[in-house]
Structure 1
């Protein structure tokens, strides 16, 4: 049978890569669409290489994005994100990708979905359909084209690019995917009962994506670990997944730990934090403890992430801005509106505006910068 030929753009956004589509170019039936997208990425692959597809065998590079003109008056485009499992037939639509959010604006402009100024900064209002939140991207323009090259450096990306400012509006909570309020249990610190581990102190928060924060010491870690220190330790990964699954149940995102570990792989994310300490990044760069406010690491679709997910950065910013979370209690002076944290590839500065209204914490926005560029434009081929 002849292969299908589907228009697509392969893009990097932040420290992630994904294949971008117009929904109209894909099957309308969700089951057929998901089967096709799995095949595009080369999943499921028991060899975990995705050799026969566009995926690159990591959680950061096995992603798909659907962008269309928005049906909402207050937004320009609708953006739907899918995390593609490498070795199982699962395409998880439960959360956002903060890194690829940076590529949505440039894609929308270059595809003619958004009117942009010839020069200056284009403001693209994005409706993040997975979690029902708005993101505002500020994209540099020159001579009618998106600026993709520049001097902005992002740890975890080898080459510099043009800075894209992202504002995640009202990032707390997530009614669209059933995530519920910012603190789904009503508490800023919970005690999870985890089979085989015991009681685990955790902050369960819906911000950017549903996220579970624990102390690094809970996993008998220091917080300075790199991927090679974690991802080869099968027992450690099992403990981390057990905590994540227990948190998913406590957040009412999964009916059971088994469901969380088989069907809801993308969210919630599990992150561990620790007080500042010196370490060497995966690129050999020395980070002084005095240069950061905390250490943070995050698991993504099983293994430890090579840098930090964009939504993980949003969750860190929000949790840091609210008193008495596992993140903000690391600071001697309490909650902070701006923090710089250390991750396996380097450091990242993020900020959030938090306030308490009638006893409930609200966050107006979380802000960070990323870069993005088109890697390839054309068609993907899929066996018919």
Structure 2
């Protein structure tokens, strides 16, 4: 019996923020995978090592967590005022499924660096020393992101002193601007608050009726109060991820919230839309110990936020969810804003399992509708490995 040899595909393995993923140039993918569809999904699943019933992704590049089971496809942009088109795929671990419904804010911080190194940015726009501005079109959600990438000697500077909670080592700071972050989600009409309310009563069978802020900004997110579901807001991963009953509760909240947000028609459809919406729970500031053993004081933060991604409590905070947090915090009356003490604010520092993060956003009320021009936060990024990935020739 004959077997096809492995196919070699140019790729770069990068950390962006508190996530890792395999980055490809569109032109380097096999012809059948250069267009959206089953062949592309099958290829990325095999690259990452999914579906894996063992949940380890041993036979692929994935790291067996939602933060490390990701793929990015980049190409030069034909859109005016943009340098690169950025497409993100969240690869399921134990299912044959790639979710294209949202962005990854953490990996967004690596897109500008990759685009410069891959020759996708006009050399005239890259200083010899200083900061390069890379204009990114986020193709999943149809939004612009501006990445400010440090450059030294005409090349991306990756090393530096910037520390990001959730990442062990320092690196160069990359500032991101998420322009007009209210997500234009199908069914939601592009509204930041798809129900028309800052706070809703969300009925979840088997759980109860919960106060919820449902917002489309950065990524569709459902915010609830920690105390309403029996938590303090200081929980780390082990308090939730080993609790099957808790995870089922969060998935029920997510599914019913998705229906209320107009993202799906029936709760059963949530299983095929794992990446969005996110569920997060909030509480006021309090002392806690992060997953690394770092002491965080109540005076160091404005509020506590814990968020779930792909069915598990995230080890830090998704970048897109951080945009949602910053946006909601800037709008008086949301659960996020109230947990932070209420009132007007242009930035918020929140506690998460790995430490703290600051995100800025400025909101304005225009003709009865809330508007946020941009949200700003800092991350870092670094190339971990570059060369080729290999997959069996019959894998896609």
Match of 2:336 among 315, 327, 344: 327
Structure 1 counterpart of 2:357: 348
CA distance in 2, matches of 1:54, 1:34: 15
In 2, Cα distance between the equivalents of 1:358 and 1:56? 46
Match of 2:145 in 1: 135
TM-score (norm 2): 0.95
1:335 to partner: Cα distance = 3.2
2:23 is paired with a residue whose SS is: strand
Residue pair 1:131, 1:177 contacting (<8 A) in 2 also: no
Q: Deviations over 1:322-381 (max 9, x none)?
A: 011011112434132111100000001111011010111000110000000100111000
Instruction: Tell me how far apart the structure 2 counterparts of residues 98 and 378 of structure 1 sit (CA, whole Å).
Output: 24
- Give CA deviations for 1:16-51 in whole Å, capped at 9, x if unaligned: 000001122222342101111001000000000000
2:118 pairs with 111, 115, 121, which one? Answer: 111
276, 280, 289: which one aligns with 1:280 = 289
Residue 5 (structure 1) aligned with residue 8 (structure 2): yes
Aligned residues of 2:81 and 2:135 also touching (Cα < 8 A): yes
**Shift of residue 177, structure 1, vs aligned partner:** 8.6
Alignment of 1:1-384 (within 5 A): 1-26=4-29, 27-29=33-35, 30-115=37-122, 116-175=126-185, 180-260=190-270, 262-384=271-393
2:131–2:148 CA contact under 8 A, matched in 1: yes
What is the CA deviation profile of residues 287-316 of structure 1, one whole-angstrom value per residue up to 9, with x for unaligned ones?
Answer: 011110000010000010000000111000
Q: Describe the SS at the equivalent of 1:327.
A: helix
Structure 1 stretches of 5 or more lacking a match? none
Computed over aligned residues only, the root mean square deviation of the Cα atoms, in angstroms, reads: 1.1
Indicate conservation of the 8 Å contact 2:285/2:340, yes or no.
Answer: no
Separation in 2, partners of 1:22, 1:155 = 29
Residues 118-158 of structure 1: per-residue CA shift (max 9 Å, x gap): 21100000000111110000000001110000000000000
Shift of 1:65: 0.4
Q: 8 Å contact 2:202–2:257 — kept in the other structure?
A: yes
Contact 2:145 2:177 in 1 (8 A): yes
Aligned-partner Cα distance in 2 for 1:202–1:161: 37
Q: CA deviation at 1:199?
A: 0.9
Unaligned runs of 5+ in 2: none
Please say which of residues 307-316 and 172-181 is displaced more in the overlay. 172-181
What do the CA deviations read for 1:180-205 (whole angstroms, capped 9, x no partner)?
Answer: 31001111111111111121111000
> Contact 1:94–1:130 at 8 Å: present in 2 too?
yes
Say whether the 8 Å CA contact 1:41–1:62 is kept in structure 2: yes
Q: Would the aligned equivalents of 1:67 and 1:77 in 2 still touch at CA under 8 Å?
A: yes
Q: Give TM-score, length-normalised by structure 1.
A: 0.98
**Helix, strand or coil: the match of 2:66?**
coil
Deviations along 1:236-284, whole A, 9 cap, x unmatched? 0100110011111111111211111x20000000010000010000000
Query: What is the rounded CA distance, in whole Å, between the counterparts of 1:181 and 1:25 in structure 2?
Result: 37
8 Å contact from structure 1 (residues 244, 269) kept in 2:
yes
Count of aligned residue pairs for this structure pair: 383
Q: Work out the CA distance in 1 between the residues paired with 2:116 and 2:234.
A: 39
